[in-house]
Amino acid sequence: MAYTLVMSLLFSLLWLAASAPAAQQAPADPAQLFQKDQARLIEAGKEWTDYLDKVAPEAKEKYGPELARIKTDIAAAQDLEQLKPAELRLETWRKSMLRELFPSLQGSLSQSGQSAQLVQAQVQAYQALAKLQQSSLSPRQKKAVESLRGRIGLAADSQSLDRLFDNAGFARPETMPQPLAPITQAPTAALPQAGLKTSQPPAAEAPEPPSEGILSYLDVSKAKKLAQSIWSKAKGFSGYCYAAVKEGLDKILPSGWRSQVGPASAYQFATSLNRNPKLFDKLKLRKLDPAALSDRKLPVGAIIVYGRGMCGFSPKHGHIEVVVSENPPKACSDGCMGIPSSRFDCIKKNSPRNWVNVYVPVRSPAP
C-alpha cells in the first residue's frame, strides 16, 4: 500500500509538471504544438498503464478499459481539435481513479486546475468554431475562421481565447463561459464516471408525492425517469450543464420543446418559461416554491435553474441541475454535487424574485 501511494504521488507530480503551462513562448506552428502534446499524452498513457499493472487487479479491471479507449483516441488524433477532448478525458480519468484509490490525495488533485481549465476552454472553443462554420459567412469571415482554428491551441489561457474571437470580428460565442470554472471545483462526490460507478443512482426510488400543494400533482414516473437519466450520464463538470439537462428533458418533455426555450445559456430555460405562462401547460411543468417545503428537501426530479451569478454559479450562463437524491440532497447535470443547506437557503431566498427557479413535472390537470 505504501508503495502504491508513493507511486501515485510521483505520477501525479510528473503529470502536473507535464501539464503546467510552459513559461516559454508557445511555438508558432500549431502542427509542432500538436506533435509535442500528442507525444506527451502518449507517454502519459503508457505511464498510467504501467501504474495500473502495479496496483490491485480490481483497480486495473475497473479503470483499465477506459484508459485504453483514451489512449486509442490520443493516438488517432490528427490535430489539436481532436486531441484536446482526449486530454480532458485523461485528466478526468486520472482524478477519478486517484480520488477513489487514495482519498488522502485530495489536495494534490486540486493543483492542476489551471491546466485543466485551459484544456476545457480550448475544447469548447473548437466546438464554438464548428458552430460558426455552419452559419452564413463571407469569404473574409471564412478565412478568419480558418485562422482561428490554428490559433486556439496556442492560447495561454481561457481569456485569450475570447480575445481571439473578438479580434477576428466575431462575437464571443454563448457556449464559451467567461471565465471557465476548473473541473476541480466540483466536490469530491461530484464526478461520477461513465462505466466506473460503484453504487446505484440515488434516485432509484422516488418518494410518493404529498397530498397537498403543487407536489400533490407531481408526476413521480417522469421525475424518476429524468433523475435517473441525468445521473447515468453525468461524467464530471465540463461547462455543459445545460446540454446535459436538455438530454434528460428530451425523455420527458414533448418533441419540439427545445425550440420553445433559450438555446445557449442555462438561465434562459427559466426566462423562457416565466415569460410564457402557456408553456407551463405545454411542457407539463410547474414552478415550486422552496419556502413551502417544511423539510427543506427538494423532490427528486426537480429542475433547479440559477440566474446569472446566483448562488456562486456562472455570472454569464447561470446553472441548471436536476435533483437526483433527497437524502443526502444531491443534484446532477454534466456532473453531480451535494445541495448544502447554505445553497438551499440561497434558492429559497431568490425564488420569489425569479432569480432562482425550481420546476417539477406534473400530471394533468395541475393548477
Contacts of 294 (CB under 8 A, 6+ apart): none
Question: Are residues 88 and 116 both part of a single domain?
Answer: yes
Is the pLDDT at 59 greater than 80? The verdict is no
Question: Are residues 207 and 137 both part of a single domain?
Answer: no
Question: Are residues 195 and 125 both part of a single domain?
Answer: no
Confidence band for 5, pLDDT divided at 50, 70 and 90: low
pLDDT at 56: 67
Residue 242 lies in domain = 186-361
pLDDT at 359: 94
* Residue 178 counted as domain residue: no
Reported pTM: 0.49
* Residue 367 counted as domain residue: no
Question: For the chain, what is the mean pLDDT?
Answer: 74
The conformational region for residue 44 under phi > 0 = left, psi -120 to 50 = alpha, else beta, is alpha
Is the pLDDT at 309 greater than 50? The verdict is yes
Confidence band for 249, pLDDT divided at 50, 70 and 90: very high
Question: Are residues 221 and 354 both part of a single domain?
Answer: yes
Q: Which residue in 349, 269, 261, 359 sits closest to 310, CA to CA?
A: 349
pLDDT tens digits along 70-114: 898 899 888 887 888 888 888 878 777 776 666 544 444 444 455
Question: Are residues 38 and 154 both part of a single domain?
Answer: yes
pLDDT tens digits along 147-183: 776 677 666 666 666 666 666 666 544 444 333 333 3
Percent of the chain with pLDDT over 90: 17
pLDDT at 189: 31
* Residue 50 counted as domain residue: yes
Question: Are residues 197 and 257 both part of a single domain?
Answer: yes
Is the pLDDT at 330 greater than 80? The verdict is yes
Q: 166-170, 205-209, 257-261, 304-308: which has the highest mean pLDDT?
A: 304-308
pLDDT tens digits along 261-283: 887 889 999 999 999 888 998 99
Contact present, 30 and 154 (Cβ < 8 Å): yes
Average confidence (pLDDT) over 328-353: 89
Which of 134, 167, 200 terminates a domain? The answer is 167
Question: Cell numbers at residue 120, please?
Answer: 476545457
* Residue 180 counted as domain residue: no
* Residue 275 counted as domain residue: yes
Question: Are residues 209 and 160 both part of a single domain?
Answer: no
The CATH number assigned to the domain holding 230 equals: 3.90.1720.10
Question: Are residues 279 and 156 both part of a single domain?
Answer: no
* Residue 174 counted as domain residue: no
Question: Are residues 151 and 270 both part of a single domain?
Answer: no
pLDDT tens digits along 117-127: 666 677 777 77
Tally the domains of the chain: 2
Confidence band for 140, pLDDT divided at 50, 70 and 90: confident
Q: Which residue in 326, 315, 319, 328 sits closest to 347, CA to CA?
A: 319
Q: Helix, strand, coil % (nearest 5) of the chain?
A: 60, 10, 35
Question: Are residues 200 and 344 both part of a single domain?
Answer: yes
Question: Are residues 160 and 205 both part of a single domain?
Answer: no
pLDDT at 50: 82
* Residue 206 counted as domain residue: yes
| C-alpha R_g of the chain | 22
Question: Are residues 82 and 198 both part of a single domain?
Answer: no
* Residue 307 counted as domain residue: yes
DSSP state of 360: E
